[in-house]
Structure 1
Amino acid sequence: LGIPRVKIKIGESWGRRTERDLAGMGMARETVGDATELYVDANGGYGRKQAVRVMRAAAEFDVRWFEEPVSSDDLDGLRAVRDAVDADVAAGEYGYDLYYFRRMCEARAVDCLQIDATRCGGLTEWLRAAAVAAAYGLEVSGHCAPYLHMHVAAATPNLRHLEWFHDHVRIEQMIFEGARDPVGGALRPDTEAPGHGLELRVPAVEQFRTH
């Protein structure tokens, strides 16, 4: 696939197992080597000072992306962590309207704004949220469902990357035609296909039909 980044989960048990979090980061770095960027996602599991302590303790692992170090609702906390660590702080995956994204950008709470078309109101709202981020000089990241985001991401000048989430990829490839694997770390949309380029595989979803 050629993807130059890998992300792991930390913040286990709402921040009560930091020794395991640090061990996991160490194992990940050892496994992927120095040429691959290491990302971590705490899912809001830490407190503000705890998040800073963990990232400082992980300095040797060269973590580049710190997703939701604290709750996404704690904008002051995100900003405090962002100001204190070297890794880029990211959040926004739960955003559901433009006001949510504007508040996060206005607070300077993140280095990269995450947007999820399945939650924010679809592809049009995704583009509007990305435009808000651009107005604050921020890049955006497509959260999950990479094939759904593929075309809209390609039309977004301030895109940093799409998330390649294996669970979502497995489902999308199972039920959609047009869900291709990345080549050289990049998804390339079919510019000849209409709309988002996906076609439902009706037989594949029949087994999930409810009556």
Structure 2
Amino acid sequence: MSRIEQVTAAAYRVPTDRPEGDGTLAWDATTLVVTMVRAEGMTGTGWTYAPAAAAGFVGEALAAVVEGRDALAIPAIWDALVRQVRNAGRPGLAGYAVSALDVALWDLKARLLGTSLAGLFGPARERVPLYGSGGFTTYDDAVTAAQLTHWVHELGIGRVKIKIGESSGTRAARDLRRVALARRVIGDDAELYVDANGGYTAKQAVRQAERMREHDVRWFEEPVSSDDLAGLRQVRQRIGADVAAGEYGGDPAYFTRMCQAEAVDCLQADATRCGGYTGWFAACAIAAGHNLEVSAHCAPNLHLPAAAATPNLRHIEWFHDHQRIEAELFDGAADPSGGLAAPATGEPGHGLTLRADAARPYRTA
């Protein structure tokens, strides 16, 4: 038995490279919560993008549940963690904390066994398709065009996504103008996706979708709030396009309702919110049972090993904000050139190591 000796967590607030916003929120910094689990001289690392309070929650409520247990018995630990957060609510802050710990546990297990996490999971593919994601509503045309040009014409990424639904849907004309700009920049061959982050009403989303047809938009994400299943169904029935209902945050009842409502063409799952890698594979199995593909939401480097092991994967969101942080604060970040990324196979675990010196200036908890 490899007993877990110590569990720690820390929060890092990293400023954005410029102001960012979407249909319903705006921000100038992103908080990374990192968990570390130690056993037999090895350290497993996990992380999530969440309020700094998630780091405190790990120490207050979860560390004692994990310490002393067998590091290889992850299903038993995960079950104990889920029971521990019963009254705190499995989605939300507690879900972020459980997710980060689960990722750290899987990373630790692979390191203890002397193998890569991709090897431990078993590959369904060697490289994972991805799409460039950013195009924030706060960007002017020049910044938007430069980012899209970098992805498509410099890195060779053939799929890109921009944010629309600006100011909760009150700037629909600017949204359409930005979609037209994106298509002009990327050309006819690249796939164009949009994400309204729930900024529109259902009827407004249908109108916008009709107006975007001339620009060949292939993916319309969260046209209305992901809680509005009736609205999602209405949009899907009216426009017949791919619609992602938004990220799965760890509520199994919501997940099942979403699939049964036939409101989605492809499920977005987020391992940093839905229970780590354990939650990811459970979500992917349920999705497969409904004949749905899965797209990984954000945290691209964290998702790579699991995404490569998922037969019904469509792609990973190569989210600008998170990729920038992971490349700056971790050694081992992947290269997205050509629109495909490969998980680490020559290093133990997920292959990423926190660079303590780089992270230290951003630490808040």
User: What residue is the counterpart of 1:78 in the other structure?
Assistant: 232
Q: Secondary structure at the match of 2:243?
A: strand
- From 196, 199, 202, the counterpart of 2:350: 196
Deviates more, 1:74-83 or 1:142-151: 74-83
Q: Distance in 2 between the 1:44 and 1:209 partners?
A: 31
More strand by share: 2
Alpha-carbon distance, 1:166 to partner: 1.0
User: What residue is the counterpart of 1:34 in the other structure?
Assistant: 188
Q: Secondary structure at the match of 2:336?
A: coil
Equivalent position amino acid for 1:151 in 2: P
Deviations 1:55-85 (A, max 9, x none): 1011100100000000100111111111111
What pairs up with 1:42-191 in 2 under 5 angstroms? 42-191=196-345
Which of these two proteins has the greater Rg computed from alpha carbons?
Answer: 2
Report if the CA contact (8 A) 1:72-1:92 is conserved: yes
Q: Secondary structure at the match of 2:318?
A: coil
Q: Distance in 1 between the 2:226 and 2:336 partners?
A: 30
Q: Secondary structure at the match of 1:164?
A: strand
Q: Distance in 1 between the 2:166 and 2:248 partners?
A: 20
Q: Distance in 2 between the 1:193 and 1:76 partners?
A: 46
Structure 1 vs Structure 2 CA RMSD = 1.3
Alpha-carbon distance, 1:94 to partner: 4.7
Deviations 1:122-167 (A, max 9, x none): 1110111011111000011000110000000000000000001111
Structure with the larger RCO, 1 or 2 (CA within 8 Å, 6+ apart): 2
TM-score (norm 2): 0.56
Count residues in correspondence. 211
Report if the CA contact (8 A) 1:75-1:107 is conserved: yes
In structure 1, list runs of 5 or more residues that go unmatched: none
Task: Name the % identity.
Answer: 65
Deviates more, 1:93-102 or 1:8-17: 93-102
